[in-house]
Structure 1
Amino acid sequence: MLPSEGLLRSLDPEFSGAIDAALDGRDISEAELVRLLRARGPEVHVLVGAADELRRRAVGDVVTFVVNRNINFTNECTLSCGFCAFSRRPGDPEVYLMSPEEVGRRAEEAQRAGATEVCVQGGISPSLGPDYYTSLLREVKRRAPGIHVHAFSPQEVHYYASMRGIGIREALAELRDAGLDSMPGTAAEILDDDVRRIIAPRKISTHRWVEIVEEAHRMGIPTTSTMMYGHVEGPEHRARHLALLRDLQSRTHGFTEFVLLPFVHQNTPIYRSGTARPGSTGVEDVVVHAASRVFLNNYIRNIQVSWPKLGPKFSQLLLEAGVNDMGGTLMEESISRSAGASYGESMSPGEIVRLIRDAGRRPAQRDTTYGIIRYYD
C-alpha cells in the first residue's frame, strides 16, 4: 500500500524526498540509500509500502522459484573466512572432496527429480588439480544433459585462473566451453575492502571481484548478485555495496537477480571471537530488503529472499517488502546449516507454492535466467 501524502509529509524530509523520487521512477543517490537503510518506526511502513509498489510495477504479482540442487563439492579451504563455519583446513579429519563423477551423479539424480539447475560451489582447496573444474563441468553435462550449470564464484574463477596460469578471460572461456552456463555472484559479502579485511582477509579484493564479474557479463555469462549483511558492516557499507552493483549493472546488464544473505552467526569464528554482532534483527531484514528494491528497481528487477537463512514464514512476509523470488528448492544446503541456521536444507515446490499463494501472489516455476516454465494457477 502506498503511503499517504499526509504521512509522507510528517516524516523527515530527506527520507520522504528519497521515497518520492523512487516512486517517480528516478534513481536515488547512495546518500539517500543510507538514509533509507536507517529507517525505523513509521518510516519502515512507508519504505515497505514503496518497495511493494515498485515491485508491483516492475514484475507484477508473480513470485518465482527454481527447482534446483546445491552441490558443495568440497569443504576443504585455505581462506579461513571469519563468517564461515562450513570450511575445514587441509588435514582436518572432517575434510571431504567429491570426485567429478560424484558431482555428475548428484546432478543426474537432481534432473531425474525435476531440477532444471544445479548450483555447484566449493572451497578453495589445494587438493584440486588444474583440470578439476573443467572435468566436473563435463561430467555434469554428460550425466545430466540439458541441466543448467550455475557454478563457481568469482573467487573460484580467480583460483582456477591462477592454477592454470592464465588470465580471467581465458579462464572463463575454458569454463564456458566445458559447460558453465552462469555464475553465482557470491564471494561478494560486502564489497568494501575495509570490511573484507576484517571478515575475509584472504579473499579477492573488491576490484578483483568486479573485474571478474564484469568480464563474465561481457562474455555473455550471466551472474547473480549478492550481499551478506549483519556482521561488522554499517549502513554506509551496505549502500556502497549496492551502489557498486547498480553501477556495474548499468554497464553490463548481466545480473539476473539480487540475493540478500543475512549473516548466520551462531557457529562462526568471527562471532565467537566477539568481532561480529549476532546477525541482523527482524526490522533490519525488512529494511534491507525493502531499501534494496527501492534502490535497484530500475536496474535489477528480481529481488530474492534466502529462506534457508530467514526461514519460510519470514521469507513469505518479505514478499510484501519488495521481494519477488523465493530462490531454489536446493535439495541440500550445508553452508547455512553449518553456520547455525535451523530451517532445513530443502523445500519442495509444493511448499513454496503454498507460501506464495497464501501471500496472495501468483506462483511460477522459473529457469535460472527467469524464463517462466509454468504458472501454478
Structure 2
Amino acid sequence: MTPTNSLSSSAERIAFSGLRSLRDLNLEISALSEQIRLILAKALAREEISIAEGITLFECEGADLDALKRTASHLCHQVHGDRVGFVVNRNINFTNICYMGCKFCGFAKRSEDKGAEFLSFDQVVARAQEAWDRGATEVCIQGGLHPKLEGTYYRDLCKAIKAALPDMHIHAFSPYEIWYGAAKSRMSYHDFISDLMEAGLGSMPGTAAEILDTEIRQQLTKNKLSTEKWVEIIRAAHEVGLPTTATIMYGHIDGPEHWAAHLALLRDIQKDTGGFTELVPLSFVHSDSPLYTQNPDKVRPGPTSMEVDKMHAVARLMLHGWIDNIQVSWTKLGPDRARQMLQAGVNDLGGTLMNESISRSAGSDFGQEITPHEMVQIIRGAGRVPYQRNTIYETKACYANSDPEEQAPLVERSVDQNLSFLRMFPDVREQAGAGERGHLEPSQSLWVGGRQSASKNAANGGAS
C-alpha cells in the first residue's frame, strides 16, 4: 500500500473527504489498519472499490471489520434512510425432477425417486390463487430441468397464471431454465425471453450464478452453464427489458478472491445494462448437500459468521451506486441473523415465501414462511421502518405507525421457526423515525441502480 504522505493528488482528495466521513461515523481512526482506512475512505468518497481492495476487505478482522460494517450501514442509509423492505410472495417449485447433477443441490430427484413431483398447470395456478388471496403480489417460480419438458412449457405456464391472475407479477425461471428452454425451442436467448415476456413474465431470478468462476463452476456443476453463458443470458434479459436479480452462493470451495471478482463482474454488467434490481447473497447450506456429504474434508460447511457479515457489507461497498438494493436470505441464515444484517448494509428482507423447498432440501431448518406481520416486527426489532414493496421496489404500504393484519402461516409450523427472539423487542414504532425516505408514496420505486435510475447510470458511464 502506498504510504499516505506519497499519495497522488486524486488519492489525497479521496483520503481527505473519506477520512472526514469516517470520523463522522465516530470510528477510532487510529485503531484501523492503513489499508482498511484508505479503502473505507475511498468508498465513502463514492470511488470504485477494486477487486484487490475487495479481497482486502473480505480478509479484515476486529476493529477493521466493525468499521467495514458501520461504513456499509452508513452507505445504505444514504440511499434508503431507515426504510427496510419486504415483498409478499409465494415460492412455487413446479418440479423437483432434474438430471443435471449439480453437486451442491439437495433438491433434485429422478422421476422414479420417492418424493419426485411435477405439478400440473392447474395445481400451480391454484397455489398462485391461494397466494393472491393472502395478499401476495408476486409468485416466484422455478423448477428442475425435467428431461421431458417441452420448450413451450415455460411460456404456457406463464399464460395459465396470467389467465387466472392478470395482476400477479411472475418472477420466474433461472438462467439455467432459460438456457434449457431456449435450446429445446431452438430459439435465441433474446427471442425466447421476449416470448416469455409476451406471455406474462415480469422478471427473472438471477440464480444459478453460484460463483462466476470457471474453475469453481467446473467442480460445482461440471460447467454445464458456464460463466460466459450465465452472463450472456442475463445480458439478453436486460437488453429486451426484463429486470433480474443477482445472486452469489458462497462458503463451500470458494474464497475471497472469487467473491470479489464475482461482485466486480456483476457491477460491470450493471454499468452496461442497469437491469439488476438487487443482489441476494446466498450462504451455502451444507447438511444435506451432496457436495459436502460426499467430500466433507474438502468442502467447507458454509461460511463463517464473520464471512456472512463481510459478504453483505463488502457487497454494499463494491456495488454502491450501481446495485443499491442488498437483500438478506432469511431462509439461509434464519430470521434473527437476517435482522442483524440490517446493521451491515442490508436494506431488504426479501419475500414472505409461504413455501420453500430448495434450502430445506439442503438442510436448512428455518421454515417456509415469515408472515407480513412478522416481517414488520423483525424490521422494527432492528430500529428500522418497515415497508411492503413489489418486485421492482415500488412501495405498496409503509408500516411506520401501523401493522399488517396478522395471519397464520400457510404451512403449519412444527416448531417456533426461530422467531421467539421477537418477544425481546418492545413496540418500537415511536422510536424508529421514518428516516429521509420514510414517507414515499405508493408506486414510488427504490429500484436504485436499475433502469429507473438510467440517468444516474448514464452520468456514470452506464447504458440506459
Q: In the alignment, which residue of structure 2 is the partner of 1:277?
A: 300
Q: In the alignment, which residue of structure 2 is the partner of 1:31?
A: 52
**1:337 to 2:360 alignment:** yes
**1:42 to 2:40 alignment:** no
Once the two structures are TM-superposed, the CA of residue 5 in structure 1 deviates from its matched residue by 7.6
Unpaired stretches in structure 2, ≥5 consecutive residues? 1-20, 401-464
Once the two structures are TM-superposed, the CA of residue 68 in structure 1 deviates from its matched residue by 0.1
Distance in 2, Cα, partners of 1:338 & 1:250: 36
**1:60 to 2:61 alignment:** no
Identity level (%): 47
The one of 253, 259, 278 equivalent to 1:238 is 259
Which amino acid in structure 1 is aligned with residue 310 of structure 2? V
Q: In the alignment, which residue of structure 2 is the partner of 1:320?
A: 343
Bigger Rg, which one: 2
Distance in 2, Cα, partners of 1:256 & 1:262: 20
| 8 Å CA contact 1:101, 1:136 repeated in 2 | no
Q: The residue matched to 2:202 in structure 1 has which SS? A: coil
RMSD across aligned positions (CA): 1.3
| 8 Å CA contact 1:65, 1:364 repeated in 2 | yes
Deviations 1:119-176 (A, max 9, x none): 0000111131222111111111112220000000111001000001111111111111
Which amino acid in structure 2 is aligned with residue 273 of structure 1? Q
The one of 133, 139, 160 equivalent to 1:118 is 139
Once the two structures are TM-superposed, the CA of residue 201 in structure 1 deviates from its matched residue by 1.2
Distance 1:6-1:66 versus aligned 2 partners, 3 A rule: closer
Once the two structures are TM-superposed, the CA of residue 85 in structure 1 deviates from its matched residue by 0.5
Once the two structures are TM-superposed, the CA of residue 263 in structure 1 deviates from its matched residue by 0.4
Q: The residue matched to 1:304 in structure 2 has which SS? A: coil
Unpaired stretches in structure 1, ≥5 consecutive residues? none
Q: The residue matched to 1:303 in structure 2 has which SS? A: coil
**1:206 to 2:227 alignment:** yes
The one of 197, 219, 229 equivalent to 1:176 is 197
Deviations 1:280-311 (A, max 9, x none): 11111111111111111110110000001100
Q: How does 1:1-377 map to 2 (within 5 A)?
A: 7-274=28-295, 275-377=298-400
Distance in 2, Cα, partners of 1:244 & 1:12: 27
Q: Which runs of 4+ in 1 moved over 3 A?
A: 1-6
Which amino acid in structure 1 is aligned with residue 129 of structure 2? E
Distance in 1, Cα, partners of 2:46 & 2:132: 41
| 8 Å CA contact 1:2, 1:49 repeated in 2 | no
Distance in 2, Cα, partners of 1:114 & 1:6: 43
> Relative contact order: is structure 1 or structure 2 higher (C-alpha 8 Å, sep ≥ 6)?
1
Q: The residue matched to 1:181 in structure 2 has which SS? A: strand
| 8 Å CA contact 1:184, 1:224 repeated in 2 | yes
Distance in 2, Cα, partners of 1:326 & 1:238: 21
Q: In the alignment, which residue of structure 1 is the partner of 2:413?
A: none
Distance in 1, Cα, partners of 2:66 & 2:387: 27
| 8 Å CA contact 2:22, 2:29 repeated in 1 | no
| 8 Å CA contact 2:27, 2:67 repeated in 1 | no
| 8 Å CA contact 2:31, 2:63 repeated in 1 | no
Which amino acid in structure 1 is aligned with residue 192 of structure 2? A
Deviations 1:195-226 (A, max 9, x none): 00111115310011111111111111000000
Deviations 1:86-133 (A, max 9, x none): 111343233211112211111111111100000000011113122211
Which amino acid in structure 2 is aligned with residue 313 of structure 1? D
Q: The residue matched to 2:28 in structure 1 has which SS? A: helix
Distance in 1, Cα, partners of 2:65 & 2:363: 28
Equivalenced residue count is 377
Q: In the alignment, which residue of structure 1 is the partner of 2:10?
A: none
Q: The residue matched to 2:277 in structure 1 has which SS? A: strand
Q: The residue matched to 2:92 in structure 1 has which SS? A: strand
| 8 Å CA contact 2:326, 2:346 repeated in 1 | yes
Q: The residue matched to 2:237 in structure 1 has which SS? A: helix
- TM-score, structure 2 as length reference: 0.79
Distance in 2, Cα, partners of 1:292 & 1:316: 17
Q: Which moved more, 1:95-104 or 1:190-199?
A: 95-104
- TM-score, structure 1 as length reference: 0.97
| 8 Å CA contact 2:249, 2:283 repeated in 1 | yes
Once the two structures are TM-superposed, the CA of residue 2 in structure 1 deviates from its matched residue by 5.1
Deviations 1:319-372 (A, max 9, x none): 000000000000001111111111100000000100111211110000000000
Distance in 2, Cα, partners of 1:312 & 1:158: 33
